[in-house]
Amino acid sequence: MEVAVCVKQIPGPDSPQEIDPSTGRLVREGQPVIDEADTYGVETALQLVERAGAGSVTVLSMAPGGETSGVRAALAMGADRAMVVSDERLAGSDALGTARVLAAACRRCGAELLVAGTESGDGYSGVVPAQVAELLGWPAVTFVRRIELDGGELRAERQGELGTEVIACPLPAVVTVTAGAVEPRYPSFAGIRSARQKPVEELDLSALGVDPAGVGEAGARQRVVAVRAVEEERGSGEVLEDDGRADERVLRALSEWKVI
Amino acid sequence: MLELALVLVEQAGPAPSSDGLELVAAARGIARRVEAAVLGGEGVAAETLGAHGVACCHELGGAGESLPAPRVAAALAQLVAGSPPGAVLLASTTTGRDVAGRLSARLDRPVLANVVGMELEADRIVVHNSAFGGTLLVSTRYEGEDPAIVLVRPKSFVAEEAGGQPASVVQAPLPGAGAAGSARVLERRRQELAGPALEEAAVVVAGGRGLGSAEHYGLVERLAALLHGAPGASRAIVDAGWAPYACQVGQTGKTVRPDVYLAFGISGAMQHLVGMRGARHVVAVNKDPAAPIFQLAELGVVGDAPDLLRRLVARLEAPGGAGAGDGGK
C-alpha cells in the first residue's frame, strides 16, 4: 500500500516564541525540527505499510529554502522517500494554500492514503487535512486513535465529542492521528545513516503544477493588523512549599472563594 | 454591519449545544440578521434559537451513519449560494473543524481559525486569536470576498437571549457528498460521566503527568466529586490512557471557564493553558517551581501532587471536617 505522510518542519523548542509585528508571521530561526505531532503520523504510516507487507511511505513537506532537517528525521524513522515543496511564492501561505500544495504533492506521489497529525504544534488551525481531503475529493477520518486495514477498507477508532466512534472508510482517504495513537519509534543509528541516502525530490510550484495565485500571501487574503501582549488579570500569586500544611492553605482559599 | 451571518449549530438532543448558542451571540455582534444551519438532534430548537436572536433555521437533520463533515459542508455551500452571507461561523469542535476545512476548499475562502474575539472595522471582519498559550493577542483583518469562514473557540463568546420570536424553520436536508462522504460510523461508544459537565462546572479539578500513575487519577475524580466539580486532564495523561478524552482540557480538548481551577501535576504546556486561562481562580500544585502553570496561579504549591490530593480528600471526607456543604454548587 502506498502511503503519504505530511511532515511540518517547525522551529525547535529552543527558538524564540515571537511574532514579527511587521509581517504577523511566526519568527522562524535556527534549525527546524519535525513537528512532534507528525511523528505519530509517520509511525502510523510505517506500521500500516509493515502490516500490509508491501508498499512504501512518502514524506510530504512544504518548507522554505528546500529545508530537510525535519524530513530527514522521518526518513531516519523508516520512511522511503520525501517530496519537499519549496518556492518563494509560498511565503505567507495560510492553511488553504498549504492544503493546495499538499493535495498536489499527494496526487503526484500516487498515494492511496494520506496520514497527518491532528494539528501542527505551531500554527494549530487543524483545518489543513480536511481541506486536502476536499480538494482531492476523498473521505477523511480525523482524530484517529487506532487504525487498521481491513480488506480494501480502513477501520478506525476516532475521538468524537461524545465518545469513541468506530469508522469504516474506503480508500483513498485522509486520516489524522492524535498524539498517543502510537508510540513513535526512535531512529536507529543505521536508520539515521541510511536517511542521508534516501531520495528527496525538491519541487517548486511550476513543477508541481500549482497556481501561484492560490497560495502565498495573496492567497491568504488576511492581514495581521495588531499583535499585543495580553495583560495578566492576575499576577503570579502566592507560591508556597508544601511543608505538610499546604492542604490547610488550599482549603482556606476554597472557603474564601465559597467552594466549601 | 453585515446583512447576514450563517452559523452552524450542532444539536445533540432537543437543545442546541452551548457552542452553537455562543456562535449566535458572536454573529449578532457583526450582522443584522442571523440564520442557523442546524445539524442533528430531535427537531430544531426554534424557540431557544429564536430567543437568542436567530431569524431562520435551516434544518439539516442528522447524517445517519455517515461521518457528517463532507455532507454538512456541501449543505452550507448550497445555503451560501442561495442567500450569500457575509460570514459563516462554526465552533472548533471535531465536526466543526472538518466542516470549516471542507467548506473553505469548496468556496475557495481561507479559514479564520482559533478565533477568540471578533469585531467589524469599516465593515471588514477583524478576528482575534490568542497565541503562545494566550500571552499574545493577534488581530487579523479579513480581506477576501464574502463570506468569511470563522472558526470560533468555545467559551469565547457569552450566549445571551435577545428576546426574539421563535425562529422560522426551513427544511434543508443534507445532500450526498459522493466518495468524500463515504466514511461510515459503525458504532458510537458514548462516554457517560458523572457530575456536572466539564464545560459547565463551577469547579474543575485537573490532573497531569505529575500525578505519577494512572491510579492517582482516581484522587482527582474523588476531589472533584467532593467539591461538586468536574475532573479534567492534560493531553499528556489522556494520551497515556490515564483519563478519558472527554476530560481533556486544552487546545484539542475542552475550553473551560470555572470559578476555580485546581491543577495537580500539570506543568502548563501552552496547549493546556489556552483551555483554562479563563478560570477566575487557579490553584496549581507541581513539584517543579519553574512550571509555567504557576504564572497563572493565584495560589501555587510546590510539592507532590498525589500526596496533597490524598490529604485534601481525607480532610474533606473526615466527619465534621472541612467538607463541602450545600454551599458548593
Instruction: Report the pLDDT value the prediction gives residue A121, as an integer from 0 to 100.
Output: 67
Going by pLDDT thresholds of 50, 70 and 90, the confidence category of residue B328 is very low
Q: How many CB pairs under 8 A join A and B?
A: 279
Strand partners, A26: A19
Q: What is the pLDDT of residue A133?
A: 98
Q: Could you tell me the pLDDT band of residue A152, with boundaries at 50, 70 and 90?
A: confident
B contacts of A241 (beta carbons < 8 Å): 301-303
Angle at the Cα of B233 (from B17 to B7), degrees rounded to 5?
Answer: 20
For chain A, say whether B304 makes contact (Cβ under 8 Å): yes
pLDDT in tens, A170-180: 999 999 998 87
Task: Give the pLDDT of residue B119.
Answer: 95
pLDDT > 90? residue B329:
no
Measure in Å the smallest separation between the Cα of A146 and chain B Cα atoms.
12
Question: Which value, to the nearest 10 degrees, does the dihedral of the CA atoms of residues A93, A97, A98, A103 take?
Answer: -160
User: Minimal Cα–Cα distance from B65 to chain A, Å?
Assistant: 9
Q: How confident is the model at residue B285 (pLDDT cuts 50, 70, 90)?
A: very high
Q: Give the one of A124, A161, A253 whose C-beta lies nearest to B251's C-beta.
A: A124
> Which residues in chain A touch residue B180, judged by CB atoms under 8 angstroms apart?
133-134, 137-140
Q: Is B65 on the interface with A (CB under 8 A)?
A: no
Residues in chain A: 260
Question: Across residues A65-93, what is the average pLDDT?
Answer: 95
Q: Check if the beta carbon of residue A106 is closer than 8 Å to that of residue A70.
A: no
What own/partner pairs with CB < 8 Å and gap ≥ 24 does A91-94 have?
A91/A64, A91/A216, A91/A217, A92/A23, A92/A25, A92/A216, A92/A217, A92/A220, A93/A62, A93/A215, A93/A216, A93/A217, A93/A219, A93/A220, A94/A219, A94/A220, A94/A221, A94/A222, A94/B110, A94/B111
Q: Which of A58-62, A112-116, B303-307, B318-322 has the lowest mean pLDDT?
A: B318-322
Across chain B, what does the average pLDDT equal? 92
Q: Are A19 and B131 inside 8 Å of each other by CB?
A: yes
Domain residue spans in chain A? 2-220
Q: How far is B60 from B306, CA to CA, in rounded Å?
A: 48
Local confidence band at B325 (pLDDT 50, 70, 90 cut-offs): very low
Give the bridge partners for B112, in sequence order: B150
Are A131 and B104 inside 8 Å of each other by CB? yes
B104: which chain A residues are within 8 Å (Cβ-Cβ)?
95-96, 127, 131, 134
| Range(s) of chain B covered by CATH 3.40.50.1220 | 203-317
Whether A164 sits inside 8 A of B142 (CB atoms) is no
Positive or negative: CA dihedral A169, A175, A181, A184: positive
Over residues A168-222, the pLDDT tens digits come to 999 999 999 988 788 999 999 999 999 999 999 999 999 999 999 999 998 899 9
| Residue A235 confidence (pLDDT) | 55
CA-to-CA distance for A88 and A28, rounded, in angstroms? 15
What is the ipTM, given to two decimal places?
0.90
Contacts of A238 in chain B (CB under 8 A): 298-300
Domain at B2-181, CATH from 3.40.50.300, 3.40.50.620, 2.60.40.420, 3.40.47.10: 3.40.50.620
pLDDT, average across residues A150-162: 88
Pairing of strands B281-286, B299-302: parallel
pLDDT for residue A123: 64
- CATH class of the B203-317 domain in this structure: alpha beta
Asked whether the predicted pLDDT for residue B82 surpasses 70, the reply is yes
Nearest CA in chain B to A16: B132
Mean pLDDT across B132-160: 91
- For the domain bounded by A2-220, which CATH number is listed? 3.40.50.620
How high is the pLDDT of residue A236?
62
**Is pLDDT at A155 greater than 50 in this prediction?**
yes
Give the least confident one: A124-138, B33-47, B209-223, B313-327: B313-327
Is 70 exceeded by the pLDDT of residue B321? no
Q: Which of A118, A124, A180 sits opposite B240 (nearest CB)?
A: A180
Residue B138 has which C-alpha cell?
493577534
Confidence check: pLDDT of B209 > 50: yes
In this complex, is the C-beta atom of B310 within 8 Å of any C-beta atom belonging to chain A? no
Q: Do A246 and B186 touch (CB under 8 A)?
A: no
**Which of A254, A255, A256 is the best residue to mutate to test the B interface, defined by the most B CB atoms within 10 Å of its own CB?**
A254
CA-CA distance, A168 to A147, in Å (whole number)?
A: 10
Residues of A within 8 A of B185 (CB-CB) are 165-167
Residue B163 C-alpha, separation from nearest chain A C-alpha, in angstroms: 30
Helix (H, G, I), strand (E, B) or coil at A113: strand
Cα-based distances in Å from B239 to A12, A40, B245, B325? 22, 12, 8, 35
* pLDDT tens profile A220-246: 999 999 998 876 655 568 999 999 999
Per-residue pLDDT of B97-124, as tens digits, reads 999 999 999 999 999 999 999 999 998 9
pLDDT confidence of residue B16? 93
Confidence at B13, pLDDT banded by 50, 70, 90: confident
Confidence of residue A10 (pLDDT cuts 50, 70, 90): confident
Contact B98 A124 (CB under 8 A): no
pLDDT at B310: 97
Residue A97 DSSP one-character state: H
Percent over 90 (pLDDT), chain A: 72
User: H/E element holding A55?
Assistant: none
- Helix-helix angle B94-107:B69-82, to 10 degrees: 50
Residue A12 binned pLDDT confidence (cut-offs 50, 70, 90): confident
pLDDT in tens, B187-204: 998 877 678 889 889 999
Q: Using CB atoms, which residue from B104, B143, B191 is nearest to A223?
A: B143
Chain B residues in contact with A160 by the CB 8 A cut-off are 94, 188
Q: How close is the nearest chain B Cα to the Cα of A139, in Å?
A: 4
